[in-house]
Structure 1
């Protein structure tokens, strides 16, 4: 007979490591595991200098959060460990974040953190502690498909975190459990009250955990001082409209705060990192219909190499706040591409494209990859190519189709 975590044996004979961030979600998970009688160990990661972070509100993993996790563990009467992952986090997440921005990309450090520090390093630590599973407070669900776990969207789609977990491997999925996937946020807070947890009314984290007050440019400028070098703001027709103080201050699709005016609405349509140029143009230059992906992770049924020649119909999500839309996933030689049937606006390299089998609450996550290039229509592509010239090919981007 299987227990509530889908494992053979009694709960008291099943060791569970809970990743405790100090927030209400992971604290409730620890409370649930304790109430069900499991052998629970709480682990909190110190990811950066929490001496600075103590004063920072609205972020996870800060000094106050470590303190809160410790107090929750004490109230639940479970052992609790704080692990120093600062150097690993800096190397795998913060440094990559900075490099991605100065290359003109829009990175998602939360995915990288899950991919490396949490679901790789912490998972191995959990196994070293003799754990049978690692349990987190993410809002996703898993279901057993044959003898392997499959990843699904949660019941509460307002809290859906499946986009941030696309890089989870099959081996990791089989070791992970997500007890909150079948609950809504109000139900979770009600449980926190029932358990008497001090974090029951604590606000959810909003910012990137290592970015004070949301000013990511301050972090990048400190790590990579040359990232704030000035350059030109150039219209897609070739006109130099003004100067900027570093391409790190701009993202694809940005309209406000560009710093130039021509009497028409202008958007950031490309970041030419090699030449420190911000390229702006009308809204139609943001329309994206085809994506070239790198580092694709497949957790759907079957093998990725067995995709049909004509491509696989999927629903693709290119930003965490956007709904999945109809798309065709193809493997073309060594290239993996996604055709967005209706197109999307403002898609940027460095973002993730995540595949689902349908656009419903019960959608299964099939995998995803990092966007290497967002291809526009022929007119937009030709205009950008004329501006960027040789550096376009030097960046390793494919020729226009």
Structure 2
């Protein structure tokens, strides 16, 4: 049986992210060698696998770590088992799980992402809705480079009156548009990040009319614009897009710019929150769908966009491969870097993984005190040691 050990703090992603299964070469099914991991202190995290083993098989020492099975060969073989993970068949070349369904099939009551992209290419609006399980917010979005005064008037009529422009960091830096509140980006990663407001100078008067704001939006979307072309403050609200888009932050700014970019247009969006015309509250999902039907607009969910992107994009890239001699034996180390945040991850492999079937796998979350210093307050280091020994044994037989 071929074997592999996956090290580094990517527990939630490795277990739930289909794209990372693809990246590590496990396509159809896997044999997961898992030690039941309880949360004994804040330095250790559980893998999210419940009740795989009976707690009575595991003995705790006075510091709370699970060492009994490691100090006893009989207990060790009984407690470290394999779990069959049944995964759905691939669609073309991409792994899809039962939990996610078909990434190209929109959620009930929503339009497909492809329909939204076609609308954006034609210079039309799309309604983007966030998590319907929480506080609903729907935004009108379109490509900033295709904006007209009529479009801005439509946004002002149906929206909050605030016209925002989603922009990447490099464009904001080029135009010298600093954040209004830089500390917000660090303190609350879920909050939108506004820059100082602007009006384009050329061809505008007060900057507040639909025509003036349309000119400002077009100027912001132009790669030829310069910082001195704008008055600051103004009436248009640039928003900073977080690198990685909806895969990093599931917000309307990121969704709007992701959609515009996927449509093959310059990656700058214009957006405005939709509000009730009577009381100014956020439009309900029912009213958002009525508006979409009345004006024949696609309405898409951010959840569907996340699934669409995850199907098509490779989220990690291999940076290096090296032989790794260890006290357990000789392994091959594959280093990966996340394209979303640059975090590095390591896959330590023994033997030939073949087609990815019947592979012994350990998913290990990094624990400095347990892995490096052998802390007696957790069993992370001992779990890793046992996993590496078992993988060495199994991999040597391949």
Q: Could you tell me the TM-score, scaled by structure 1's length?
A: 0.26
Q: Report the structure, 1 or 2, having the larger strand content.
A: 1
Q: Which has the higher contact order (CA 8 A, sep 6+)?
A: 2
